[in-house]
Homo-oligomer: A and B are copies of this chain.
């Protein structure tokens, strides 16, 4: 496997996280731990002082191996302030796997001009990740603007009939723009990882 192994920390005890981290790092690999709490970070930090905490992305990383060569930058686009944790999870994952990442945040469908003004950044990316909650429409709009693979990440942000991200998920699955594929609700890591696999220069 060309990419570092990953620990999904949610629902795991600190002991379990540390045990898996140890196995990975002693095997010579790099470590990415996602959905980690601050106390989880501190536990890893104590054992591995070179561990880095990406707070907004809720990720801890220990980089030891080299990352593969990539074909171009990855753009991460998001709509609302509350979507940023998931967007950062995607962006930091992509960076740790070797991509250069262009962040295009706070561009909503209800204010299209802000998005359109960043069109050049979108066109010059090889893969685009779109993170959006209630505003699931953003993936269609981005997919209509440029001819690039778009990975859509619905977020659980919202209330009422957003049903914890289901509304955004359905919007994205029904996207009328071709080239859009979708990952699980809030799965920023999955989007960052899939973007990296797509972006590898063989």
Binding site for B on A (CB under 8 A): 1-3, 6, 10-12, 16, 20, 71-72, 79-82, 108-112, 126, 134-137, 140-141, 143-145, 147-149, 151, 154, 156-171, 173-187, 189-191, 193-194, 197-198, 202
In the complex, A147 Cα to B3 Cα: how many Å? 9
Most buried by B among A134, A140, A181: A181
Tell me the nearest residue of chain B to A93, going by C-beta.
B178
A99 to chain B minimum Cβ distance, whole angstroms, is 14
Can you spell out 28 A-B residue pairs with CB atoms less than 8 angstroms apart?
Answer: A109-B137, A109-B140, A109-B141, A110-B140, A110-B141, A112-B144, A126-B202, A134-B174, A135-B176, A136-B171, A137-B141, A156-B160, A160-B164, A161-B170, A161-B173, A161-B174, A163-B170, A166-B170, A167-B170, A169-B173, A170-B171, A178-B194, A179-B193, A179-B197, A180-B190, A181-B194, A182-B182, A182-B183
- The answer to whether B184 touches A149, judged by C-beta atoms less than 8 angstroms apart, is no
Contact partners of A154 in chain B: CB under 8 A: 160
- The answer to whether B178 touches A174, judged by C-beta atoms less than 8 angstroms apart, is no
In the complex, A12 Cα to B178 Cα: how many Å? 19
Most buried by B among A111, A170, A190: A170
Contact partners of A135 in chain B: CB under 8 A: 140, 174, 176
Known contacts: A134-B176, A170-B163, A177-B110. The answer to whether A82 contacts B11 by CB under 8 A is yes
Tell me the nearest residue of chain B to A82, going by C-beta.
B11
Known contacts: A161-B174, A170-B161, A178-B190. The answer to whether A110 contacts B71 by CB under 8 A is no
- The answer to whether B3 touches A144, judged by C-beta atoms less than 8 angstroms apart, is no
Tell me the nearest residue of chain B to A113, going by C-beta.
B144
A142 to chain B minimum Cβ distance, whole angstroms, is 10
Contact partners of A126 in chain B: CB under 8 A: 202
In the complex, A187 Cα to B108 Cα: how many Å? 19
Contact partners of A110 in chain B: CB under 8 A: 140-141, 143-144, 175-177
